């Protein structure tokens, strides 16, 4: 049955940081205010003249990032299982309003004690969580790659990079800076993804803006990118603005965009899945990268790509983000052996970059 064009809306909202609260009780109040603000903004969008079928809200919207908090402290202060405190108000709202809701939150699953994840999810019109993705590529946070053997043994392969087939088409969620990792979107496209939902919390960088355009054109997908309003989570002194929520079609054309960082739901557009499906079938030479992709020759190179060490925190969860330094050093050595990095000269000091997510 053909899918009629449907409306996607970005919820560009302000977000307070639980990590900056003086204690856990106050942090809980911060989280509740964020949840209430998010629900209110979604309600307003549903009451508008352009009521959405699906909304996307920003990364860190309900909790903010942990900043310098150690994992055990952050878990105790702000992390919850799915479903739970963070998702239940949104599940009830999705049922009541008959919409899809996509977003992101920090999750502490009981089956992995001592570990938390930067997790994305999609709730359908019935209030069910139909997609749940635990982010792989992180800088400051734990990753499922940290205990890869255990995680993949316990998790069906289709849930490593999940795509869900819905009445709106085939949807996936990729959070924030992970949009700059081509393989994540590519693997999701290979499972049929037609729309990338992108909850983000990011300052302007040419790299990420270019990545959004690259991911949609190389995979022929739509992208619905919702950024935070006011100040990004990783700007504790409130000097780096958010804004720039953006909806792109599968040919890289902007359907909706706002530069400013004001709180709003004005970035909204119709998604035409049937046109995407028709265009994916049309031979337009290299303008259609799906019909002419030749993946077989890449396989042996990827099979040898062993750089960042898996299972680095297999036996015990990360206790402090500074422990990642050892994994980074191992990655440098592996890249040297592969001839990608030049060996360090004797006495030189390794460069240290500011933490990013």
Q: What is the pLDDT of residue 355?
A: 54
Tens of pLDDT along 213-237?
999 999 999 999 999 999 999 999 9
Q: What is the pLDDT of residue 344?
A: 84
Q: What is the pLDDT of residue 222?
A: 98
pLDDT at 337 over 60: yes
Q: What is the pLDDT of residue 140?
A: 87
Tens of pLDDT along 8-54?
999 999 999 999 999 999 999 999 999 999 999 999 999 999 999 99
Could you give the CA distance from residue 75 to residue 79 in angstroms, rounded to a whole number?
A: 5
pLDDT at 95 over 70: yes
Q: What is the pLDDT of residue 1?
A: 87
- The helix or strand, by DSSP H or E, that contains position 224, with its residue range, turns out to be strand 222-226
Per DSSP bridges, beta strands 222-226 and 6-10 are: unpaired
pLDDT at 284 over 70: yes
Q: Which fold does the domain 6-291 belong to in CATH?
A: Nitrilase/N-carbamoyl-D-aminoacid amidohydrolase (3.60.110)
What's the average model confidence in pLDDT over 330-347?
Answer: 91
- The pTM for the full model equals 0.96
Q: What is the pLDDT of residue 351?
A: 66
Query: For residue 259, what are its two tokens?
Result: 């530069």
pLDDT at 356 over 60: no
The structural domains of the chain, with segments of one domain joined by +, span 6-291, 297-337
CA dihedral 87, 89, 91, 96 (to 10 degrees): -170
SS3 (DSSP) at 250: coil
Could you give the CA distance from residue 214 to residue 103 in angstroms, rounded to a whole number?
A: 22
Backbone angles phi and psi of 113, in degrees to 5: -60, 140
Could you give the CA distance from residue 298 to residue 290 in angstroms, rounded to a whole number?
A: 15
More confident call, 357 vs 169: 169
- Mean pLDDT, rounded, of the chain: 96
Q: What is the pLDDT of residue 268?
A: 98
Contact 65, 118 (CB under 8 A): no
pLDDT above 70 covers what percent of the chain? Answer: 97
What's the average model confidence in pLDDT over 258-277?
Answer: 98
pLDDT above 90 covers what percent of the chain? Answer: 95
């Amino acid at each position: 049955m053909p899918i009629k064009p449907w409306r996607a809306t970005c919820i560009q909202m302000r977000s307070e940081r639980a990590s900056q609260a003086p204690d856990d009780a106050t942090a809980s109040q911060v989280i509740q205010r964020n949840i209430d603000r998010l629900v209110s903004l979604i309600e307003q969008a549903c009451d508008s003249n352009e009521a959405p079928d699906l909304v996307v809200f920003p990364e860190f919207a309900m909790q903010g990032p942990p900043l310098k908090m150690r994992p055990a402290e952050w878990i105790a202060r702000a992390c919850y299982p799915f479903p739970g405190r963070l998702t239940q108000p949104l599940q009830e709202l999705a049922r009541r309003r008959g919409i899809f809701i996509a977003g992101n939150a920090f999750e502490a699953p009981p089956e992995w004690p001592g570990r938390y994840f930067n997790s994305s999810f999609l709730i359908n019109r019935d209030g069910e969580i139909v997609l749940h993705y635990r982010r792989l590529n992180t800088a400051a946070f734990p990753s499922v790659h940290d205990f890869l053997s255990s995680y993949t043994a316990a998790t069906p392969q289709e849930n490593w990079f999940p795509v869900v087939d819905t009445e709106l088409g085939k949807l996936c969620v990729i959070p924030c800076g992970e949009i700059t990792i081509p393989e994540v979107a590519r693997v999701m496209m290979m499972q049929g993804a037609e729309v990338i939902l992108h909850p983000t919390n990011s300052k302007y960088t040419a790299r990420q803006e270019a990545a959004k355009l690259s991911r949609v054109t190389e995979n022929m997908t739509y992208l619905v990118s919702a950024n935070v309003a006011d100040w990004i989570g990783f700007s504790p002194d409130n000097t780096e603005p958010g804004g720039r929520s953006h909806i792109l079609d599968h040919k890289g054309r902007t359907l909706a965009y706002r530069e400013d960082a004001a709180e709003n739901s004005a970035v909204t557009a119709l998604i035409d899945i049937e046109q995407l499906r028709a265009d994916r079938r049309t031979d337009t030479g290299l303008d259609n990268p799906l019909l002419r992709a030749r993946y077989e020759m890449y396989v042996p190179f990827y099979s040898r790509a062993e750089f960042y060490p898996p299972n680095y925190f297999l036996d015990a969860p990360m206790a402090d983000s500074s422990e990642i330094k050892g994994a980074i050093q191992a990655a440098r050595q592996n890249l040297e052996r592969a001839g990608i990095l030049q060996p360090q000269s004797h006495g030189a000091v390794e460069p240290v970059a500011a933490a990013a997510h």
